[in-house]
Amino acid sequence: MFITKKAMSRRTVLRGMGAAVALPFLDAMLPAQTPVKDMAGILPKSRFTGIEIVHGGAGSTEYGTLNNLWTPTTPGRDFEFTKILKPLEPYREYTTLITGTECSSANPRSAEEVGADHFRSSAVFLTGAYPKQTEGSDIRNGVSVDQLYAARFGQDTPLPSMQLCIENLDSSGTCGYNYSCAYMDTISWASPTTPLPMTRDPRLAFEELFGSGGSAQDRANRNRVNRSILDSITRDMTRLRRNLDAKDSGRLNDYLDNIREIERRIQKIEAYNVAHGPERELPAAPIGVPDSWEEHVKLMFDLQVLAFAADVTRVSTFKLSRDTSNRVFAESGCLTPWHSASHHGERAETIEDQGKINKYHLSMLAYFVDKLKNTPDGDGNLLDHSLVLYGSPMGDGNVHGHRRVPMVLMGHANGALKGNLHVATHDDPPQANILLTVMQKLGVEVDSVGNSTGTFAI
């Protein structure tokens, strides 16, 4: 028997009627006896996710700063996880916390812009740029870092990037203070004049990842009779398994089981929504959107994990809400509507309520991080090979302030970040410095992002 360098292509796809299922990284994709140093084009590339939460954080208030609701008391390594950050403590070795930055490009520059922070903040989150105040078609912002990364490392994947959201979007017209809704509806900008649409419906996101095979009629027929997307690739799966060892076969089974489980969840949500119609909590939402915010968020996170595992895309953005949302997050232990809680009036009790909501939202980030950590990927796991940026472009929501914005990085990005680090900044450096640092760590050759002035040692 001769050992050859022949290996399965990283771009192997199982195809059927209305399906195109890419594969996770398998050992069979590595040429035999090839040194790791020669596998730069084969081993997994870093994935990047930008996740925005709106309304700022309790830790950005004066009370929150004095009581260290978000910011640890000690900088450097082995910092303490504060009350709000507790959900991330099990992932200390993957956590890089940068505190004290200011999202200054979201500040008003003229009298007529004062009070309009909710209507421009999201546009600044991943661009660091100042959005032009307009309700017309002459919108102008900056290029978001997810698209900088996609332009450099996402062009050889089926999807250069994916954009997901939770809340309803207006898509056109003005949303307030003479700002186009385009600024509120997305955090991804392909160019200063090109905001990218975000997908709210889990069914649409699922089909974008796995339903590109066959015709639109094939996909419609499959959905109508609730057949699995995997049913049409059974022959290809059987043929593939003959050439896999036990380890790869187990990894493939887990991956396909995850696809089927997500598919069942979507079908169950759609069946419930059809049956209950106007009785739904969100009757105007697309048929695939669950009433439960938590269920919706977890489903979208699971779809991103699948997309990263199969290298369908290396770039995603996720907008967890829309500014001025007054959802109630009973699971957090706080029954105060969200936007109302952010306008706390400097009352300690209300700030603590906002902190409960912030902590609950971080528990959703922890869910995503845990899924990444427990998904094998090449010589490690997806969290080893990912950089997740989570935060808000607003600080103290009570005054629509943009100082001390909550930001945290998760993952090792193929060794570019070591984790277990708290970088405490001073003199309000721009939040765009985090964006620039992230891009340079991920290998994107760029000298500035938005209003950045430098980088951080992370």
Cβ count within 10 A of residue 93: 12
Provide the pLDDT for residue 84.
98
Q: What is the DSSP letter of 107?
A: S
Question: Same domain for 322 and 416?
Answer: yes
Does 110 lie in the same domain as 227? Answer: no
**Do residues 137 and 163 share a domain?**
yes
Statement to judge: residues 215 and 111 lie in one domain: no
Asked if 198 and 161 touch (Cβ cutoff 8 Å), the reply is: no
- For residues 210 and 304, membership in a common domain is answered with no
pTM, entire model: 0.93
Looking at residue 43, its pLDDT comes to 66
Paired residues of 381 in beta bridges: 376
Q: Residue 40 above 60 pLDDT?
A: no
Both tokens of 69, joined, read: 């609701």
Report residue 374's pLDDT band, with 50, 70 and 90 as the boundaries.
very high
Which domain covers residue 419, as residue numbers?
47-200+289-458
Check pLDDT > 90 for residue 125.
yes
Reply yes or no on whether the pLDDT at 6 is more than 70.
no
Structurally, how many domains does the chain consist of? 2
Residue 222 has pLDDT above 60, yes or no: no
Last residue of a domain, one of 288, 314, 339: 288
170 and 278 both lie in a single domain: no
Q: Report pLDDT for 423.
A: 97
Mean pLDDT of the chain: 91
Q: Are 192 and 280 contained in the same domain?
A: no
Tell me the per-residue pLDDT of 127-175, one tens digit each, with 9 for 90 and over.
999 999 998 899 999 999 999 999 999 999 999 999 999 997 766 677 8
Q: Which residue(s) pair with 317 in the sheet? A: 50, 163
Which of 11-25, 86-100, 242-256, 275-289 has the highest average model confidence (pLDDT)?
Answer: 86-100
- In sequence order, the 6+-apart residues with CB closer than 8 A to the CB of 413 are 46, 385, 386, 387, 441, 442
Name the domain boundary from 288, 311, 326.
288
